[in-house]
Amino acid sequence: MNNILNAQRLLQLYQFNPKLKDIWYLTAAATFSVANQPQEIPKLYHYAMLLSNEDSYKYRVTLAYKTIELLSEQPQKRINMINEIYENPTDLQRQVSARFRETLLKTGALAGLPRAINGLHTLKEYTPKSLLPEASNIDPWNAAMGGEDPCPQIFTQREQMRHTENMNEVMRRGLDQWNMIYNKVSNRVVNNLNSSYPDLWYFTLMHVYGPLFSFDSILSKQETSLVVISSLVPQDVNPQLRGHLKGALNVGCDYDTVEAVRRLSILVSQWCDIKWRDGIIGLLPPKSKSQSNGRT
C-alpha cells in the first residue's frame, strides 16, 4: 500500500479550516477508509491523540513529526511505546478513540463492510491497550446452538433489537433522522427507494438509518452528516452527495463547515489518486440578506 501521509500533510489537514477543529481527523479517516487506504488511519489517530493535550496546538509541527516517527518504529517497539504513552489515558483520549471507531463503522453502510472492517482492524492494531474496546471471546458455533449470546449486550454501544419495542423505537428514530435530512423531498426519496425494491427501503431504514446513522451517543447528528459527506466524495456518486450536502444543512451544519468538509475530502481523495468522471458537486453559497432583498 502507498505511504500517503507525512508530517507536512498531517499539519495541512489539522490547519485546513478552523471550522473543522474537532472533526478534521474524522473527515480524513472516513475518506481514507472509503478510498481503501486504511494504513493512513493510524497516523490521523495518533496525531489527533497527541493534539488532545492542553495547549498542544502550540507544538503542532513537532507533534506531526513525532507521530510519523512513532509509527515508523519496529512493530514490537512501537506497541510498547504506544502502551507506555497512553498508560493512563485522559477522558478526551477515550473520546477520540471512540469517535474514530464510530466513524469507521458508519462508513461501512456507505462504502461496504470490507473497507470498514479493514479500517477498524488497522486502527485496533495501533490502539493502546488501555483504549481498546472491551470485548469477550465469542464461539459462533455454540451461539448458533443457543449456548451463548452471539452479541453480548454489555460490550456494545447500541441498544439491541431483541424485542418489538426496541425495533419500533429504532425505526422511529431512523425515520426522524431521515426526515430531518431529506426534509421537503423526504417523501420523494423514500418512494424512489421503495419503488426500486421495497427491501431496499426496509434495509435502509432498519439497518442503516435506525441503528447506525441516528445513533448519536458518540457522534452528534451534525458530525454524522459530515462523515457521510466525507464517505461519498471519493465514490463519484453525485446524486447521493447532493442530497447529503443539503441534508447536512437541514440537520444544523452551517454552509462554511459543509463546504470545508467537502474540500478536505476532495484533497484527501486526490492524495489517494481518486478520479471523478463528472467532477464533484457542491452547494451554492447562501444568498446574503441584501441579495435576498434585491439589493446589490
296: pLDDT confidence band, cut at 50, 70 and 90?
Answer: very low
292: pLDDT confidence band, cut at 50, 70 and 90?
Answer: low
- Asked if 280 contacts 241 with a C-beta cutoff of 8 angstroms, the reply is yes
Question: What mean pLDDT is predicted for residues 200-214?
Answer: 96
Q: Which of 163, 170, 251 is nearest to 207 (CA)?
A: 170
- Asked if 104 contacts 119 with a C-beta cutoff of 8 angstroms, the reply is yes
Residue 294: pLDDT over 90: no
More confident residue, 159 or 280: 280
Place of cell 493512513: 40
More confident residue, 136 or 274: 274
Residue 68: pLDDT over 50: yes
273: pLDDT confidence band, cut at 50, 70 and 90?
Answer: very high
Structure-block grid coordinates of residue 101 = 471507531
Name the burial class of residue 64, with classes exposed (0-12), middle (13-18) and buried (19+) by CB atoms within 10 angstroms of its CB: buried
Answer yes or no: pTM beyond 0.85.
yes
Structure-block grid coordinates of residue 187 = 417523501
* Mean pLDDT, all residues of the chain: 94
Top-level class of domain 7-134+159-275: mainly alpha
